[in-house]
Structure 1
Amino acid sequence: MALSKSILKNNLLAIFQKMTTNDNQQNSVETLAEELSGVIFDFVKTAEVVAGQSVSTTGTAAAQTGKTTTNGTII
């Protein structure tokens, strides 16, 4: 699944709306941080990296190791 800015926005709005009814001032900041970190963590986990990055090897093709030579693309 590609990253969806609108899903993130809707999840953040839900958190902010929930916080407007939070009467416990003492735990408000911690509650907000917990909620935000969960939504952002879940959002980032939906990222996909496009496969098929180019790799160059030297020598024979047998048993080569290395890193990709191009940057991955997050979609």
Structure 2
Amino acid sequence: MALNKSALAQSIKSAFKNMKDDNGDEEQTLDTLCNKLAEAVDTYVKTAEINYITGLMAPPGTAGGPVTGPFKGNLL
């Protein structure tokens, strides 16, 4: 799945809206907001896909084994 920027924006908006509804103290409200923002960013980043382009090479003359080389790709 590609990164969904609109879903991240909606999660951030929701976190700020929920701040208004929190009747606790300021520090607790700020902690809650920070945790919700961190969760939104964490969820967003974990949806990233890597588009492999080139760069990695299998070991010569063997079946399997670790690949080597500079990874060339991008996030979708």
What TM-score range do you get, normalising by the shorter chain?
0.7 to 0.9
Listed one character per residue, the Cα deviations across residues 1-49 of structure 1 (whole Å, up to 9, x for unaligned) are 1001111101110111111111112301111111111111011000000
Aligned counterpart, 2:43: 42
Instruction: Return the TM-score normalized by structure 2.
Output: 0.76
Letter in 1 for 2:74: T
The answer for unaligned runs of 5 or more in structure 2 is none
Instruction: Return the TM-score normalized by structure 1.
Output: 0.77
Aligned counterpart, 1:7: 7
Alpha-carbon separation, structure 2, partners of 1:57 and 1:33: 43
* Aligned sequence identity (%): 24
Aligned counterpart, 1:53: 54
Relative to its length, the structure with more strand (as a share) is: 2
Q: Is the 8 A contact 1:53 1:68 kept in 2?
A: no
Aligned pair count reads: 74
